[in-house]
Structure 1
Amino acid sequence: MVYVDMVFARMDAEEPSGWRYEDRSDPGTVSARSELESGRLEWYGEIFDLRWLDGDQEVAVRGQVFDEV
């Protein structure tokens, strides 16, 4: 069995943190595994293309989203 657990974070100036989050898990959220496999995520009717970040990009995004140094 494969278990998928991911967080989708999108910049949103209306949120106190500046980010809007969506947790996806499979089993759980029906589409999580297929979204990860296809590289496309549907969120409130909007389609987003997923991509892996290189090391520097990953560090920068983690720092912004999760307030990591």
Structure 2
Amino acid sequence: MRMKDVRQYAGIFTGKMVKPMDIEGISKFKKGDKVVVFHLQDYLKFLDTLDNVMHGAEDETDEITHQMGMD
């Protein structure tokens, strides 16, 4: 998944735009801050894809580790 495929919204934080999942995360923002909101599942898929590109898929890295005798 590419970052441009992640559903997102850019706007001004009003304090009522989204229901926070944890109150601590939202306390770092103040009214009038410019924010970007990502769709959580899309963003997690993007991060997983990015991790695989940077580090290889888990089965690939396990095979390389085994071949090098580092397991």
| TM-score, scaled to structure 2 | 0.21
Structure with more contact order per residue of length (Cα contacts < 8 Å, sep ≥ 6): 2
Return the structure number with greater helix share. 2
Larger radius of gyration: 2
Return the structure number with greater strand share. 1
